[in-house]
Structure 1
Amino acid sequence: MTYTDDQLWPYLSPSRPGWWLVSGTRGQIRRSVSTECDMRKREDDALPIVLNTLRSVDQLRRSMDDDVLVLVAEAHRRGASWAEIAGWLYRTKQTVHRQYQRRMYSCRTRELLHCDYLEATRRARVLCRQGCPEEVAESRAFLWTFRQPAGRAVPDA
């Protein structure tokens, strides 16, 4: 049985209980929008909530795109072929190659990796001071492996 958009749309609206029946990420987003709209109790207040949620989901999607890019670059660096990567992403080899090949070596990718490195270094330094013994040992090993030029010693516990 097929449905037209007019038949389905009432069930896809955040103000309808049908949204509660959807599982996964889309269901969580729908429940969040529905809860916010219910708290406002006015239909004209719902649009800003939906638009804010749209912005949040778009930011999440962009962040996930960056994560996929870094993972594709890492897989390719470790020897995975474009065909293997495409298989894991359920896409064609040509699509994956076209989408990621140039981006893997772009300034944006280097910037992402550099930001990750700075965050890891910052967390490792905090854990060297405040972490449990296992975290201190792992943090020191990380800082030793990626040590800075002379003058920046590994912090003591």
Structure 2
Amino acid sequence: MYDQVFCSQLIRFHQKLIQFQEMFQKFYSPVMFAKILMSNTILTLILYQVTTTDFNSVAKARVYKALVEFIGVIYVYYYLCHCSETLDDAQRRVTVAVASSYWFKCSNTTRRQVCMLLRRTQIPNHFKFYQGLIILSRAFFYSVAQVSYSYVNYMKLVG
């Protein structure tokens, strides 16, 4: 009886986590495309400014301002992707914890519940927007940084 209560409680906690994630995604969905687009544009422009400016001929205050803006934009954008990755890491930890427990020694009802929970937790769990068009992760951040840097290099070659 204890294992069924404990398993049901674990499933309820996991369902609350999924509901919170869905509320977060629903809340941010209307503005996320604009946020991503603006963040990519700002990241590219600040990267261009930082890489093309001759810091010896510019006032120190302007150099510090550019560097602080660059670090701030990268930090905010990376933090959003990092939070999504942390959510996925937590789900993987749940999968490992449940799989390494002795769930197979429990009653049949509990084993069915655990199997359903394991099936649900093995799916990647990043923040997704627009039916999976935008999936925030560290890999997404890395690809955005690569595209921005490639565009800056292109602009330096053309200009």
Common fold, TM-score beyond 0.5?
A: no
Q: Please, what TM-score do these two structures have when normalized by structure 1?
A: 0.28
Relative contact order (C-alpha < 8 Å, sep 6+): which is higher? 2
**Larger relative helix fraction:** 2
